[in-house]
Amino acid sequence: MLKLYHTPLSFNSRRVWVMLLEKQVEFEEIILSLQGDQFDPEFLKLNPFHQMSILNSKLGVNA
């Protein structure tokens, strides 16, 4: 299943979140904060550029 790592206050995050809802795609939501979660080592493994959102699927990571 798709995993969306995002932060609700970010417009860039919301674009992806809304698209998934509109297309009725099933996804797991992982809500993070921009108060430092983007620098968590586990998050940096997914996106070294420390930006949200991230859409993670079996095909790879889309930032």
Ligand X SMILES: N[C@@H](CCC(=O)N[C@@H](CS)C(=O)NCC(=O)O)C(=O)O
Residue 42-61 contact track with ligand X, rule CB under 6 A, x = bound: --------xxx---------
Tokens 């095909």 belong to 59
* For ligand X, the closer CB: 26 or 49: 49
Least distance between ligand X and beta carbon 17 (Å): 11
Give the pair of three-digit tokens for residue 50: 């420390």
| Whether the Cβ atoms of residue 63 and residue 47 lie closer than 8 Å to each other | yes
Here the contacts of 40-43 (C-beta below 8 Å, separation 24 or greater) are 43/5
Give the pair of three-digit tokens for residue 46: 């997914």
* For ligand X, the closer CB: 1 or 49: 49
Q: Is 31 in the site for ligand X (CB under 6 A)?
A: no
Interaction site with ligand X (CB under 6 A): 10, 12, 34, 38, 50-52
